[in-house]
Chain A
Amino acid sequence: MAPRVTPLYERHRALGAKFIEFAGWLMPVQYRGIVAEHLAVRQAVGLFDLGHMGQIRLRGRDARAFLQWLTPNDVFRLRPGRAQYSMFLYPHGGVVDDIMIYEWPDREEFLVVVNAANTEKDLTWVQERRAERPDWDVVVEDISAEVGMLAVQGPAVERALQPITAVDLGAVPPFAAVVGSVAGVETLIARTGYTGEDGFELYFPIEITGFLWDRLLEVGADFGMVPVGLGARDTLRLEACLPLYGQELSPEITPLEAGLDWVVKFEKDDFIGREALERQRREGVPRRLVGFEVVERGGIPRTGYAVELDGQQIGHVTSGTSSPTLGKIIGLALIQQSAVGVGREFAVIIRGRPVRAVQVAIPFYRRCRTSRSSEARG
């Protein structure tokens, strides 16, 4: 099957992008270069095509209760115009997908943004769960083909974006979302992202994608805005230790193992996966996601490489890279609980050779917050 493309494909080509196939989509992996794009987001601002991501709309009187049952975070704490990071879980505690839930500021409706690789699976999952609650008033719709999505991320984002919107961006706190016009287009402007940097994610009618992309690059030029591909998106999120589904999260990995305990609100009412996670919490989490730095020459740890202690395998690398911001080789690994501890060493097997690594505190990168303190990923 030929890969799908977003409305920006020709623009990416014209910008000299290199492409990769990702989750059935042909997406730009880089334009100028991963390191340059990464640093532009850390120091100025970057623009991301997220047209491959999926969007699900949930409406109806019982939509909130339905989401509350479907996800481990507390949807009753969500308010109009707020965003919440959460997941869909299997009954055994593994992860169907990690998601962002937005409650529309102006109407009783939820927007659930899901990973490109999981859009169809998620939709089936949600529809099946919907069918188990036949008497509930919930409407589930796949609106991925109607909704355009771009992200603008980096410390200069407010200055770059403000000239083309009437919304006072300074008044939009992290994890808030407002409806307003951007370059004349009605947009859901959300202060969320996947880079560890200040930034916005924009949702708007998909036909407008090309127009908005052009306008953003045009007004952003004065602030150093560059287009950023999936390559730098991955290194940025890894420095900030934001999980990538398929690597840090999967049907075989629970949120507790992935260190995302804060997402799981045991004090709330019933949700799918609760029983399994309560059991895991009671009996002890058998393995845990840790951050590490490679401390000798030997290469870059890649996803799936074995992690050993005294010649015994204790886990595997979920993600690894050469960190453009820190100038170090870093990674995340899922290892046996007994070996976990900042400062403790293990070996990553790179091309058959053990290479020394030491566990470090995560995230690897945390931005300096100059303005109000954030309630972060609440």
Chain B
Amino acid sequence: MVEVREGLRYTRTHEWVRAEGEIAVVGVTDFAQSELGDITYLELPEPGTTVKHGESMGVIESVKAASDVYAPVSGEVVETNRTVVDRPEIVNKSPYDEAWLVKIRMSDPSELDRLMDAEAYRKFLAETAATA
């Protein structure tokens, strides 16, 4: 079973967000890493980059496939996790903790309300699995 952590917000493209004041810490979910398999390459926006809710802000590649990372909220990237860029396999091991990807200073925190909570995301995953 994949882990869906309480207290985070989730996108339909399998990113998670942890709001810390005006900062959004962003990563990809346990489901995402499990679907991708062994992750071998990450491309993330540099600090200072402006990102927009729902738009691609990076790339995550596994042995199998390449996939976009979408910005769950709009704002400015204030920090990028260099460790995970150097060692992308951390995403497989610790998607919610060590492998946070970027921190974004939110320009519109109300965007968080458009995202799913843990319960809704769990339901979303169940529905995805049922139609797959």
Contacts and interface: CB of A to CB of B under 8 A. Distances in A.
Contacts of A173: none
For chain A, the bracket of interface size reads 10 to 19
Contact of A299 (B38, B41, B64, B92): B41
B40 A33 contact: no
B37 A299 contact: no
A34 interface: yes
Interface in B10-57: 35, 37-38, 40-41, 43
Contacts of A321: 63
B38 A33 contact: yes
Contacts of A30: 37
Contact of A35 (B38, B43, B59, B61): B38
A268 interface: no
A5 interface: no
B126 interface: no
A6 interface: no
Contact of B37 (A34, A297, A300, A329): A34
B2 interface: no
Contacts of A29: 64
Contacts of B92: 33
Contacts of A302: 66
B55 to A, nearest CB: 15
B40 A322 contact: yes
A34 B61 CA distance: 13
B64 A34 contact: yes
A221 B40 CA distance: 29
Nearest to A29: B64
A281 interface: no
A29 B61 CA distance: 16
Given A299-B59, A300-B61, A34 B38 contact: yes
Nearest to A235: B63
Q: Indicate the member of A34, A300, A324 with the most B CB atoms within 10 Å.
A: A300
A7 interface: no
Contacts of A297: 43
B38 A300 contact: no
Contacts of A329: 40-41
Contact of B66 (A34, A231, A235, A299): A299
Contacts of A322: 40-41, 61, 63
Interface of A: 18, 29-30, 33-35, 231, 235, 297, 299-300, 302, 321-322, 324, 329, 351
14 contacts: A18-B37, A30-B37, A34-B62, A231-B37, A231-B63, A235-B63, A297-B43, A299-B43, A300-B41, A300-B66, A322-B40, A322-B41, A322-B61, A324-B38
Given A18-B35, A297-B43, A299-B43, 6 more contacts: A18-B37, A33-B38, A34-B64, A322-B63, A324-B38, A351-B59
